[in-house]
Structure 1
Amino acid sequence: MKKIAVVGAGISGLTMANYLEKHKIDYHIYERRKMKDQAGHGFLIPKEGMDYLYQIIDPEILLKHGNFLKKYTQYSRTGKTLAEKELDHVFAISRHSLIHLLAQNISPEKITYEETIIPDNQQTGKLKLSDGTDIDADIAVISDGSKSRIRRDLFKGEKMSVVRESEVVNIIQNKEIADSVGNNFIKFHHEEGGLTFGILKLSGDTILWYSQFDNEKYMINACTAENLKKYMLEVFEDWHPLIPSIIQKSDYKNVHLWCVYELEKLNPFYKDNIVFIGDAAHPLIPFTSQGVTSALKDSFILTKYLSEEENTEKAFKKYEAERKPEIETHINNGRILLEQFLRPLRQQSENILPISYK
């Protein structure tokens, strides 16, 4: 039976571990961060992703930690309704909650935290710990994020480019605001394009909000939380009153400024006995809302072929052949949605849903 090293204990790595548990395949996870150092805020998960989650997390437990969104509404910056669309089982959940639920099924001794994994340049397809110790594994599943160090080491010619969009993401706990939003996903748009403010409810008293900026028009740079809040209040001063209210009342201790990058061209999803899943294989820009679902599908399909095929390369080839075309569709859809975002409202297509469907 194959022994697997999983690099990264984020959504894709923990999902992979859950599927390996289900198939009784031996594994160990290595995570470079501390156990409680889990950056990020929340996710939208379409129905397809939920179907994969239900296979590894009890639905009743899962539904206690998130919220199904019923409707998506586009507004002008002043609150005029532009378009509405019913949502089909789109689930909102915080990153903290999803990480917690995925980790519950994993025995603590199967995860090593604060350990950086690096390629062994002396042995093809091998990885080692930061102290030089070889990792005893037949296969390495890499899930260390969009800027994967291991991917960049194996595919040295890759090019990552800055996307013309940056995001500020934050969470606010405020029952009054949560009640006013209801089970809806709402998004306000500047009439000249390139600036939006999205709001969705994660639970009874918790709201995730995010603002998207055309980073050629708006100078969103790494700065102190206090200066970021001040800048946000200036930018959104004359928008619908709900928005400056949320910005003002939010705690900026864990605010996340996201500078978005994408691979100009996808690498192969594997090399030798090393295989990539989730953002490590295929960074998706946020307009797709498909990051979690794609990670879930990657993990499910890779585990399926690893359990069916004795030959590792054959399993990897089948995994890549099944997943790559869909990922390329999402990448293309994301670029279309980005282009729409940058246009003035009068030039945008009606009712652009911020989720990529294959």
Structure 2
Amino acid sequence: MTSTSFKVVIVGAGIGGMAAAVGCGLAGHEVLVLEDAPAIGEVGAGLQVAPNMMRILSRWGLSSTIISDSVSLTSVHIRRWANGALLGVAPVNKSFGDQYVIHRADLHRALYDRAIALPNVEVRVNSRVMTCDFDAPSVTLASGEVIKADIVFGADGIKSRLRQQMLGLEKDEPIPTGDAAFRVVLPRSAMEHDPDLRELIDSPLGTRWIGPYRHIMAYPIKAHKLYNMVLLHPDDIDSEESWTAKGPKSDLVNMYSGWDPILQKIFALIPEEEVLRWKLCTHRPLPTWIKGKVALLGDACHPMLPYVAQGAAQAVEDAAMLSHLLSSSSTTRNNIPGVLKLYETARKARAEAIQGTANGNRDNLHMPDGKEQQERDRKFAQVFSGGENPDKWGDPAQQRFIWGWDAEKVASEVLRERSREEVRSQL
């Protein structure tokens, strides 16, 4: 528990916003979460709870909930697009912890329920933030209401209104990458009658089908009751930047025509209008994430492409770092801007490096058929015996960098270093 309780206003009730509410709420701060939408809805599909996120969620008392709603992957099978031939098997490195996969709605609900169970956390829907006073700080809602705070967190996503105002931009649009994704979730009942498909949903395995300019990642979720698929491809049909936009199944079928016959069996089971379509967008690295007593977090400052499965994890790291720094005994209302500078220093370079890794992994997975692809596939065949993994998600050095990081431990180190600098300055 913090020695000084602050009033924390969080703009946005997504995974990053609710994680910040849990972290700050458990520390004893007065937390108000403001959400545009009229209700807290269940959207999206599967995502990965990597070890760097799970260790934080465990400290927040959420491990049993996460485990009961998820599957712990044991390995990832890499398959060729045209015939499903097994190119390689990459065991999941569990030296940093299990690699869980979960429905996004289950993770969000776990964070939301944990937050609102705290007496010092409130979530308000239908509360659109229009402007922010970065120094006061305060936010003004569409209704005209002004809400004052000690600190404001902008967790309002890739289309962040707070980011646009912080940077003084007249126009601040996400940048399309040229790729898009289909997201599909199938129930066990649809797959269990076919032996090939039943094996997919029964096994604690991730499967990557890789081919020219596109790939598919799939795995069971919800304790093997659902099968989740994300299908990444060139954005030839002008998708929306939305978790909830739907498209016709025919678009998916046409995009992956000629791929593995097992995939074609899966596609045949997908109901019409049950395909989520998502434009993959990014944002150039920002000059700053902070201004006055306001800090951005999650997609508002470092939107992640899904190629190393770190979008949710990086938002949770931001939330853990911010709540830990804010709850230090040395943090006062007067030095909040300096504390936010510590957050930016500790988090910005790391998050942007992971953004870069995700971008590079796309090229490795989407190689057109040819000599480079054949050399890549030769490396995949050696992965099980400890060879180099062309998929950066499974690369040991990348795993150490991404999964081995502890946001709260680093926050403590940053605070200790600041204390040492203050002592040195007085000598």
TM-score by length of 2: 0.77
Q: Quick one: structure 1 residues 4 and 329, their matched pair in 2 at CA, closer, same or farther if it must change by over 3 Å?
A: same
* 1:91 and 2:100 correspond: yes
Report deviation, 1:107.
2.5
Superposed counterparts of 1:263-274, under 5 Å: 263-274=283-294
Q: Is the 8 A contact 2:176 2:280 kept in 1?
A: yes
Counterpart Cα distance in 1 of 2:219 and 2:13: 26
Paired position in structure 2 for 1:107: 116
Structure 2: stretches of 5+ with no match in the other structure: 380-388, 402-427
Q: Which of 293-302 and 171-180 deviates more?
A: 171-180
Post-superposition offset of 1:241:
2.3
- Alignment match, 2:86: 81
2:217 to 198, 206, 227: 198
- How many Å apart are 1:120 and its aligned residue? 4.2
Distance 2:247 2:131 in 1: 40
Please identify the structure whose Cα radius of gyration is greater: 2
Q: What amino acid does structure 1 have at the position aligned with 2:84? A: G
Deviation at 1:206, TM superposition (A): 0.2
> Alpha carbons of 1:226 and 1:122: their partners in 2 closer, same or farther (altered >3 Å)?
closer
Q: Match for 1:269: what amino acid?
A: W
Give ranges in structure 1 of 5+ residues lacking alignment: none
Whichever residue aligns with residue 189 of structure 1, its letter is I
- Determine which of 368, 377, 385 is the counterpart of 1:344: 368
| In the alignment, structure 1 residue 257 sits paired with structure 2 residue 265 | no
Whole-Å Cα distance in 2 between the matches of residues 47 and 330 of structure 1? 15
Normalised to the residue count of structure 1, the TM-score between the two structures is 0.91
| Counterpart AA for 1:184 | L
Whether 1:334 aligns to 2:358 is yes
Asked if the contact 1:159/1:264 (under 8 Å) is kept, the reply is: no
- Give me the CA root mean square deviation: 2.4
Aligned counterparts of 1:212 and 1:221: Cα–Cα separation in 2 = 12
Matched, 1:30 2:49: no
Contact 2:77 2:90 survives alignment (8 Å): yes
3-state SS in 1 of match to 2:53: helix
Q: Which residue of 2 aligns with 1:41?
A: 45
Contact 2:140 2:146 in 1 (8 A): yes
For residue 240 of structure 1, the aligned residue among 248, 260, 267 is: 260
Identity level (%): 18
The alpha-carbon distance between structure 1 residues 300 and 122, as it changes in their structure 2 partners (threshold 3 A), is closer
Q: In the TM superposition, what is the alpha-carbon distance from 1:255 to its structure 2 partner?
A: 3.1
2:337 paired with 1:313: yes
Q: Deviations over 1:222-271 (max 9, x none)?
A: 6xx99631122233332222212222212355532111111122241111
Q: 1:186 aligns with which of 195, 198, 207?
A: 207
Q: Which stretch shows the higher mean deviation, 237-246 or 273-282?
A: 237-246
Instruction: Give 1:344 shift.
Output: 1.8
Specify the alignment match of 1:118 in structure 2.
130
Partners of 1:21 and 1:179 in 2: CA distance: 42
Q: Report the CA distance between 1:66 and its aligned residue.
A: 0.5
Partner secondary structure for residue 237 of structure 1: coil
Alignment of 1:204-219 (within 5 A): 204-215=224-235, 218-219=236-237
Q: SS in structure 2 opposite 1:135?
A: strand
Cα offset, 1:63, TM superposition: 0.7
Deviations 1:335-354 (A, max 9, x none): 21122234225425443336
Q: In the TM superposition, what is the alpha-carbon distance from 1:124 to its structure 2 partner?
A: 6.3
Structure-2 change in CA distance of 1:248 and 1:149 (3 Å) = farther
Q: 1:172 maps to which residue?
A: 186
Report the residue type matching 1:40 in the other structure. Answer: G
User: Alpha carbons of 1:226 and 1:269: their partners in 2 closer, same or farther (altered >3 Å)?
Assistant: closer
